[in-house]
Structure formats: C-alpha cells, structure tokens
Amino acid sequence: MEITFYGATESVTGSKFLLHTDYGTKILIDCGLFQGETGSAFKNDKLPFDCSTIDYVFLTHAHIDHSGLLPMLVKYGFKGKVYCTSSTLDLLEILLEDSANIQLQDLRYVNRTRAQKGLEPIEPIYDINDVKNLLDKIEIVDIDSTLNINQKIFVNFFPNGHILGSVAIHFTFLKKDKSQVSVLFTGDVGRPKDTIFPPPVLPLGADYVICESTYGNRLHSPQVDLEVVLRGIIEDTCLYKKGKIIIPAFSVDRTQEIIYAIDRMDTHGTLPPIKVYVDSPLSLKATRIMDKHRNEFNKEILDYICRDGAPFEFKNLIYISDVEESKALNNNSEPCVIISASGMADAGRVKHHIKNNLNSDRNLILLVGYATPHSLAWKLRSGVNPLRIFGEYYEVNARVQSLDFFSAHADYLELIEYLKSQDPKLNKSIFLVHGSDGAKESFALKLNAEGFNNVIIPEFSESFEL
C-alpha cells in the first residue's frame, strides 16, 4: 500500500494525506485549506487528485487548515463517507458555513474591481450548498472508539487534546499477503495541561506514524494562571485608566479559554464591576457547541461546573449577535472588555472595534493568538503606525500587549512524550508534517536521539510504499 502527501509538507497548513490500500481502497485523511501564505489561493484552486475515486475521508479535527476543502471534494465528485466525531461535526457546520460566507464577501469586492476592468468574475471555490452536501455524507464516530470497515480496515480514534472533538487516528490494514500494517496520524497534538481538555491519550503503537511538528524546534514558556494575568490587565485598563480592552480571539477555543478565566474571576469576587462583551455570532455558536460537549472537558473544569454551574456565563457577560447592538458598543464610553473575532483581526467585527478604539492610550488591544505576517494583529504586534484599516490610516495611540503563552499545540518535549507509546525498534518510519522554519528538521534530529532512525520529511505530492 501507498501514502501520498498532498499538504502540510512545505507549510503548516493544507493538511491532506491519501492512503491507497492493497485492495484498491482510497482513504483521505483531512482535506484542509492552505492559509496565510503566498500562493495559498492558487493551491486551494484545485484538489490534486480525482475526487470521485476517494472512498472514505477521516477527519482529525475541525480547524479549517484540516477541513476547509471538504466541500470542494464533494463538489468535484466525492461520493463516499466522511468520518469524524460528533463535536467535530458541530464545529464543521459553523466553520465551513462561515468560510463559504467569507469567500462570498471577499469575491464581491474582487469581482467589482474585475468588472471595472472588463474581466470575468471569479467563482468561489465552494458555496453553502456544497457545505450542506458535505454534511449529509458525515458519519459520526465516538471519540474513543474502534471502527471496522469491510473486515480489512480497522480504525481506532484517540482524543488528542488539541481542540474540541480532535483525535489521532490509528489504522490497521490487512494486506493481500495476509500480513498487517498499521499507520497512525497524530493530527494536531494538544498540550498535557490544558485549561479545558484532558491530556492527549497516548495512541497505539504503529508501523508508520505521520506526526505534526508545528513546535518541533520550540518550547513553550511556563504555563501561567490566565485568571491572575487577566485580573491585572483588567484592573489596570478598566479600573484605573477607565479604558476599554479589545481582544481579537479565534471563535473556537481561545474565546472560551478567556471567558472561562473571567468567569473564574467573577466566581472568586475579583472581577471589577465592568461589562464583558463577546461580540461575534460565530463565537457565540462555538461557545454553545463547546458547552454542549462538556463530556470532553477535563476534571478541573467539570469540578468547577459542579460548584459554579456554567463556565461561560456570568452576570456581566453579554453575547452579541445583532449588528445594531454591535455598532452601539461604539457609542458606549464605559470601561469594558470586548472579545471579538477574527483571531488575526483581518475580518469580522473586531476590525471595527480596533479602528474605533485606537485613538486613546486609555484603551488596550490585547493579542492572544498566532498572527500570520501582514495580518492586522501582526501589524499591531509589530508596532506599525499609522495603521491602515478599511482603506484609511489611523494613528495608533492605544496600548498593544501580546500574551504569548497561549497554544493548542504540544511543544517538542511534549511531542516526544506523546510518542512514548511508539516503540523505536518496531517503528518503520515517522513522517514529519506541519512544521515550518526548520521545525521538522530540528525535530527529526531529536527523534533520532530517541532511537527513531527512519524519520522522513516528505515533499508535496511525494508517495511512499508502506
């Protein structure tokens, strides 16, 4: 049998791996969008295989760089089944719908310019109907379960603590000569100590491992108590400076981590008497989904729920969906916290909030996530001043602060710990994906030192016999 790498090779995004078994079954693991790098649009324009020949898709988690091209797969003829966990399905529904809408909005602007030049309009790579067609093909698997496909393919799922619903996927294939071969896809691996999720479950040993290496050359700074850090920041800006705090945050995970920390402040009686707004329809939906799947939470937050009731709900927390209510926040001069999407501040309502609050040094823009170069969050972090937003320049008088300790990815020591269930003597190869700036190369050397002698860094569209 054979594996081909169609993404997450030269970059950290676009995850797509194709398995072709001895019996002719084709299985795609993830079908992600390339994001935030030169040539992304070109790479997303076409899938590099015949979609109609794929039998099954297995999805590790809902992040768009792992799932974002699934509707396109269906649009171009995929007729099989897509397997994922039920919380991943819930997140997919809102994230892919959002992705289809963002494409439409972006193309409206692009096509207006093209029309002025007499050029043909560009079509979106998929639309909301393709998303619906995809969702019809999904089969739910339990987060900690085994699946038997046609007596020749056995699949095990292992929660890996990265985001809600995320799993590593372990396949055992029966070969024509009656021998077996096992292949493990780690997906994105979470951290051993997360505020919401339990540590990753160590997966079964495998002949071949396809391992992420996003932090293959980096260690995280020591974990801090977010509640304590945020308390200091909120007291300083809202209580003493009487300003507003604007937090651009990814709708899934980061937003809930922040709400949960402020919820704890409220429970402990340390939250100043200010309003906290979550101004994003997507973040509201993601928070509801997260709350619906409490069965995936770790013991600490479940204990907290037993005492406090709800981790994403307190008296002064207000979720805003309505556009007019969002606009009304501009005229509100009271000190407050506004958590809004998108995480990199390139789209969504947070862009308006940043624009409207840049003028005063009483206000703080608090950056809590990764930002690709040239995104608005990246420019703020880099001190670009004046800042161009919606085609106009604005003086940056507001303070900008970055909290760099957030991460949903294991660092290299944590990844090595995660691979402890793999026996270097039995392992045939580890393929490294999802690493940039030397992360894969550096991690390969570390794995060699652990006794894994055949570590491979595959190139785009490269195939290997398993």
200 in Cβ contact with 159 (< 8 Å):
yes
Considering the complex, what minimum distance in angstroms separates the CB of residue 182 from Zn ion? 23
Considering the complex, what minimum distance in angstroms separates the CB of residue 408 from Zn ion? 7
- Report the distance separating Cα 182 and Cα 207, nearest Å: 5
- Report the distance separating Cα 375 and Cα 346, nearest Å: 6
**Closer to Zn ion at the Cβ: 69 or 230?**
69
| Dihedral pair phi/psi, residue 393, rounded to 5° | -95, 135
**Closer to Zn ion at the Cβ: 16 or 63?**
63
369 in Cβ contact with 344 (< 8 Å):
yes
Q: Which one-letter amino acid corresponds to residue 215?
A: Y
**Closer to Zn ion at the Cβ: 43 or 254?**
254
| Dihedral pair phi/psi, residue 394, rounded to 5° | -130, 135
Helix runs in 272-411, H state only: 281-292, 299-308, 323-328, 350-357, 376-381
**Closer to Zn ion at the Cβ: 207 or 257?**
257
**CB-side neighbour CA atoms (13 Å) of 216:** 27
Considering the complex, what minimum distance in angstroms separates the CB of residue 434 from Zn ion? 9
**Closer to Zn ion at the Cβ: 159 or 243?**
159
Angle at 162 between CA 157 and CA 165, to 5 degrees: 50
Considering the complex, what minimum distance in angstroms separates the CB of residue 345 from Zn ion? 20
188 in Cβ contact with 61 (< 8 Å):
yes
**Closer to Zn ion at the Cβ: 68 or 80?**
68
Interaction site with Zn ion (CB under 5 A): 63, 188
**Closer to Zn ion at the Cβ: 164 or 226?**
164
**Closer to Zn ion at the Cβ: 61 or 379?**
61
Closest by CA position to 380, among listed 256, 218, 369, 391: 369
Considering the complex, what minimum distance in angstroms separates the CB of residue 224 from Zn ion? 22
**Residues contacting residue 287 through CB under 8 Å, at least 6 positions apart:** 255, 256, 259, 278, 312, 319
Considering the complex, what minimum distance in angstroms separates the CB of residue 7 from Zn ion? 13
Considering the complex, what minimum distance in angstroms separates the CB of residue 140 from Zn ion? 20
**Closer to Zn ion at the Cβ: 214 or 356?**
214
Considering the complex, what minimum distance in angstroms separates the CB of residue 201 from Zn ion? 17
- Report the distance separating Cα 118 and Cα 288, nearest Å: 45
Closest by CA position to 35, among listed 56, 66, 65, 9: 65
Considering the complex, what minimum distance in angstroms separates the CB of residue 215 from Zn ion? 12
Instruction: Record the tokens describing residue 187, joined without a space.
Output: 């997906």
Element (DSSP H or E) covering residue 464? strand 463-465
- Report the distance separating Cα 97 and Cα 361, nearest Å: 37
